[in-house]
């Protein structure tokens, strides 16, 4: 490892006790994020839209949890709520064993370093008036961890680590390609020595060939620094390679959560089955029985269907599905599903 590359997070570098290493890095319980919405143009009445409707998950040190669902299902809102970039309405978020939901801005500062985010659109998330060197070096300025020549060397080291040439550090974001800009975003996140990175659709805006490069880079960095990822995507094929476990989200709720292998070989939720049936497979002749075409779009979170949110599109829906909300329950071996019939 380079002299100036990020070091391992302290709790892991020091070895930690057995209890510490068994403890999840992140524990989210019953997280809700609601937005107030005015009923009509001239109405004073407000209604609450639940973008995230009581999700619970955990991530172990060095683990990647994929979070998958169609556009508008609340997965990005969940990611930003976990980081408190937007304030959660209720629920618990524990990071490295500490509850962070009630912390003040000042108290959150030290956690912000350890919890970073990479956005879908690197162009809009990078300040166009700052050079790449200033962008990547900003965490060192904010945290006061290095200055002058030393900071420059650390930025150069990060550039090399993410596959960028240090002699391009003086350029501005628009002078880089989309893939290179995403590498700048990754280098910036890495500068804070995070324990957790929320990867919010980090490859969705990139060409397929570049997607694989960026995912491989994230996996290499994870192996080196033992970071954890919450990897958000709308496509199961994208999360398959990088994830250890996968949570499937539909209209604000997690409907299935299990390890990657089980999800791909033995999905339980009808929504997961439909998503999986759309994933391209290398040998179509050996392939899946049939493609499941879901009727219609995801319903609006402003007016979600009662009972199971998936009931308006589920080919197996029965009467009870339209009345009672299925609870996410463990079936066996940690495999959780929210369905009355499975
Ligand atoms: Fe389909 Fe009913 Fe299961 Fe919902 S609870 S996924 S509607 S079968």
Top mutation candidate among 326, 327, 336, 337 for ligand 1, by most atoms within 8 Å of CB: 326
CB 74 within 8 A of CB 51: yes
Report d(CA 64, CA 245) in Å as an integer: 7
Residue 42 forms part of a structural domain: no
In a shared domain, residues 118 and 185: yes
Residue 251 forms part of a structural domain: no
In a shared domain, residues 158 and 274: no
pLDDT tens string 9-26: 334 433 445 555 578 999
pLDDT at position 281: 66
Q: Is the CB of 268 under 6 A from ligand 1?
A: no
Residue 73 forms part of a structural domain: yes
Residue 340 forms part of a structural domain: yes
* CATH number for 186: 3.40.50.300
Q: Is the CB of 337 under 6 A from ligand 1?
A: no
Report d(CA 44, CA 311) in Å as an integer: 32
In a shared domain, residues 76 and 155: yes
pLDDT band for position 4 (cuts 50, 70, 90):
very low
Q: Whose CA is nearest to atom 3 of ligand 1?
A: 339
Look over the chain and give the mean of its residue pLDDT values, rounded to a whole number. Answer: 87
Ligand 1 centroid to Cα of residue 337, in Å, is: 10
Residue 253 forms part of a structural domain: no
Q: What is the model's pTM?
A: 0.88
pLDDT tens string 123-154: 788 899 999 999 999 988 887 777 788 899 99
In a shared domain, residues 87 and 31: yes
Percent of the chain with pLDDT over 70: 88
pLDDT tens string 45-104: 678 889 999 999 999 999 999 999 988 899 999 999 999 999 999 999 999 999 999 999
DSSP state letter for 249: E
Q: End-to-end distance of the chain based on CA atoms, in angstroms?
A: 48
In a shared domain, residues 87 and 232: yes
Residue 272 forms part of a structural domain: yes
For the cut 50, the answer to whether the pLDDT of residue 248 exceeds it is: yes
pLDDT at position 80: 96
Q: Is the CB of 176 under 6 A from ligand 1?
A: no
Atom of ligand 1 nearest to the CA of 318: 2
Residue 98 forms part of a structural domain: yes
Ligand 1 centroid to Cα of residue 143, in Å, is: 49
Q: What is the rounded average pLDDT of the residues 206-228?
A: 92
Residue 91 forms part of a structural domain: yes
Residue 148 lies in domain: 1-6+24-36+47-243
In a shared domain, residues 66 and 212: yes
Is pLDDT larger for residue 8 or for residue 64?
Answer: 64
Provide the strand spans (E) within the chain: 26-38, 46-59, 64-68, 90-95, 98-99, 115-118, 196-200, 228-233, 245-250, 253-259, 329-332, 335-337
Number of separate domains in the chain: 2
Report d(CA 96, CA 11) in Å as an integer: 9
pLDDT at position 7: 43
Q: CB neighbours of 230 closer than 8 A, spacing ≥ 6?
A: 26, 59, 64, 65, 67, 79, 82, 196, 197, 198, 199
Report d(CA 275, CA 256) in Å as an integer: 12
């Amino acid at each position: 490892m380079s002299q100036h590359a990020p070091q391992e997070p302290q709790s892991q570098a020091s070895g930690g006790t057995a209890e510490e290493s068994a403890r999840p890095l992140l524990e989210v319980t019953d997280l809700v994020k609601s937005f107030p919405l005015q009923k009509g143009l001239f109405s004073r009445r407000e209604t609450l839209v639940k973008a995230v409707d009581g999700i619970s998950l955990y991530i172990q040190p060095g683990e990647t949890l994929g979070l998958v669902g169609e556009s508008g299902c609340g997965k990005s809102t969940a990611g930003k709520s976990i980081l408190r970039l937007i304030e959660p309405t209720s629920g618990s978020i524990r990071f490295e064993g500490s509850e962070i939901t009630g912390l003040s801005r000042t108290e959150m500062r030290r956690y912000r370093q350890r919890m970073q985010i990479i956005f879908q659109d690197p162009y809009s998330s990078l300040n166009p008036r700052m050079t790449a060197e200033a962008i990547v070096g900003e965490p060192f300025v904010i945290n006061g961890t290095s200055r002058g020549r030393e900071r420059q060397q650390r930025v150069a080291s990060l550039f090399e680590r993410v596959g960028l040439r240090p002699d391009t550090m003086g350029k501005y974001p628009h002078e880089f390609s989309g893939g290179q800009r995403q590498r700048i975003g990754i280098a910036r996140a890495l500068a804070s020595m995070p324990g957790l990175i929320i990867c919010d659709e980090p490859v969705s805006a990139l060409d397929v060939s570049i997607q694989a490069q960026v995912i491989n880079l994230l996996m290499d960095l994870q192996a080196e620094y033992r970071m954890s990822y919450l990897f958000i995507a709308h496509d199961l094929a994208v999360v398959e390679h990088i994830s250890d476990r996968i949570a499937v989200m539909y209209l604000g709720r997690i409907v299935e959560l299990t390890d990657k292998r089980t999800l791909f070989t033995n999905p339980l939720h009808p929504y997961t089955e439909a998503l999986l049936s759309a994933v391209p497979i290398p040998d179509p002749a050996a392939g899946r029985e049939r493609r499941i075409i879901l009727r219609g779009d995801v319903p609006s979170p402003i007016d979600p269907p009662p009972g199971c949110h998936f009931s308006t599109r589920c080919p197996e829906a029965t009467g009870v599905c339209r009345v009672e909300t299925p609870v996410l329950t463990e079936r066996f071996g940690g495999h959780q599903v929210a369905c009355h019939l499975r």
